[in-house]
Structure 1
């Protein structure tokens, strides 16, 4: 499956224990996303477009209104890196 560089960067951060915090608007749609690594740094590559693509491909999921994390399908599709755990 074709995954862009920004999508890969976000998936790697999530695979290492990161999370995506989101805010919903009055209509219930996600209006703002912020991706954090497990160390607490914020990724600038995580935009609403990248978030929507990852969600559409079901690479990320949120259970019980918790922050978005990588799904099992996302773990299978992320490319291996030396620093990936």
Structure 2
């Protein structure tokens, strides 16, 4: 695994946790909405991803996909790849 991939994963994990809060162990795979996400938190996540990683995703990606953290990582990696 390249360093860039690890940085993306760790950064996304930090963003997810800071915005949605720490989840209980049995909720680690919770989707955005299951974790209490709403429009303002989706906007904050998208903004932070762009600011910290320079990768653009849409708020609609979060609303349409309702990703868990692992799925969000895949979405961001796909956007970064082009």
Q: Which has the higher contact order (CA 8 A, sep 6+)?
A: 2
Shared topology, TM-score over 0.5?
A: no
**TM-score, structure 2 normalization:** 0.30
The structure where helix makes up a greater share of residues is: 2
The structure where strand makes up a greater share of residues is: 1
